[in-house]
Amino acid sequence: MRALGFGLLWLILVPFSHAAEHGVVVLQYHHVGDDTPRVTSVTAAELEQHFAYLKEHDYKVVSLTEAKELLAQEQVPDKLVSITFDDGWRNVYDNGLEIFKKYRYPFTIFVNPYLMEQTPRIYMSWEQLRELTEYGATIANHSQFHEHMTWRDIGQDEAAWQQRQLTAIVEAQRVIDDELGSPQPRLFAYPYGEYDAKLAKLLAEQDFLAFGQHSGPWGRYTKATEIPRFPASANYANLDTLKTKIGSLPLPVTAHEPAEMEVASDVEEVNVRLHIAVSDDVQLQRINCFYQGDVIQPNVDDEGIELTLSQPPIGRSRVNCTLPSRSLSGRFYWYSVPLVRPNEQGRWPD
Ligand SMILES: [Zn+2]
């Protein structure tokens, strides 16, 4: 009887202890077209190819709100994907409408209401955005002005900075809610994917989920104001590489250092530490990290990894770490740490 009990326990526990933990892969797009900056564009043909791939390979496309609810459950199903578009470019409507109608996937468009008002010609109109909601769109917040929100003006005190950013967030949401006719899900995409602890706190206090531009799936340890997304435009649009990201798993990083994205302008090297919940499926000896086209060899211990990045460039950069799953062949855990190094004036390019 006792042996049978242990046998049953073994049957129950072993499959779970080896099981990979799933997350939600959020894809990030900007322009849809072939006459816009390639670095932030997919062609309509590429977008359709991505959408067809998700369908053919049984991915479930969920809204960001559904993704949040599924992640709150104990067992997240495999193969969840969310789709996002930043800035609300008019070409998303012009070149994407037929694709959205055909697939009827949920997707989110992050808009800057003030900029839409200033230069309506290049952005979708509210009427077009409302039309897209009939085919799966959620309209969400990308701030009023699309500024580098962490920049402080010379002589600006913290209270004044905070008030300006709070207004940029809250006022944008007010316009969105008014134009859509009801309170919309509180979803925010940081302009340029840039944030710091104070900006994240402002968004948390306003009950927003906030999305960056560092890559990796959204998993149970992801902070609600630091949600990663995979860029899917330009060089990243190629399905040969994109499908690895679409199939990726969230590396269970419980914390990372440095906690702030911005490093000192005169920094020569940056030490990065990832605290990782290891398991039978997550074996740290198998981890690989990449920075600026180089492979970085991390030091591995029982609780995580440490690596040194030398000569970070002025501006944004990110270190990516991947680790093959033992239980799911061909599948990789993924985590990315965003960094930004200012110049001596505390600024960096778009
Ligand atoms: Zn943007």
The yes/no answer on whether domain 255-341 falls in CATH 1.10.3720.10 is: no
The fourth-level CATH superfamily of domain 20-247 is Glycoside hydrolase/deacetylase (3.20.20.370)
Span 91-118, pLDDT tens digits: 999 999 999 999 999 999 999 999 999 9
**Distance (Å, rounded) from C-alpha 266 to C-alpha 149?**
22
**What is the 27 CA–ligand 1 centroid distance (Å)?**
14
60-79 average pLDDT score? 94
- Do the Cβ atoms of 195 and 210 come closer than 8 Å? yes
**What is the 28 CA–ligand 1 centroid distance (Å)?**
10
Mention every residue, 6+ apart, whose C-beta is less than 8 A from residue 147: 168, 191
**What is the 142 CA–ligand 1 centroid distance (Å)?**
7
Mean pLDDT for all residues in the chain: 94
**What is the 193 CA–ligand 1 centroid distance (Å)?**
8
**What is the 9 CA–ligand 1 centroid distance (Å)?**
51
For residue 61, give the nearest of 18, 19, 3, 100 by alpha carbon.
100
- Do the Cβ atoms of 230 and 193 come closer than 8 Å? no
Amino acid identity for residue 211 in this structure = F
Amino acid identity for residue 35 in this structure = D
Span 176-200, pLDDT tens digits: 999 999 999 999 999 999 999 999 9
Q: Burial of 195 by CB count in 10 Å (0-12 exposed, 13-18 middle, 19+ buried)? A: buried
For residue 211, give the nearest of 113, 341, 64, 59 by alpha carbon.
64
**Distance (Å, rounded) from C-alpha 85 to C-alpha 30?**
5
Span 255-269, pLDDT tens digits: 999 999 999 999 999
Whether the predicted pLDDT of 1 surpasses 90: no
**Distance (Å, rounded) from C-alpha 329 to C-alpha 325?**
7
Domains 20-247 and 255-341 share a fold: no
Q: What percent of the chain shows pLDDT beyond 70?
A: 95
DSSP string, 90-156: HHHHHHHHHHHHHH---EEEEE-HHHHHH-TTTB--HHHHHHHHTTTEEEEE--SS---TTPPPTT-
Report which of residues 235 and 314 the model is more confident about. Answer: 314
pLDDT band at 14 (very low <50, low <70, confident <90, very high): very low
What pLDDT shows up at residue 19?
A: 79
Neighbours of 167 (CB within 10 A): 13
pLDDT band at 154 (very low <50, low <70, confident <90, very high): confident
What pLDDT shows up at residue 8?
A: 53
Report which of residues 25 and 3 the model is more confident about. Answer: 25
3-state secondary structure of 72: coil
Domain boundaries, the chain: 20-247, 255-341
**Distance (Å, rounded) from C-alpha 237 to C-alpha 337?**
21
**What is the 14 CA–ligand 1 centroid distance (Å)?**
45
What pLDDT shows up at residue 239?
A: 93
**What is the 39 CA–ligand 1 centroid distance (Å)?**
13
What pLDDT shows up at residue 125?
A: 98
Whether the predicted pLDDT of 314 surpasses 60: yes
**What is the 124 CA–ligand 1 centroid distance (Å)?**
14
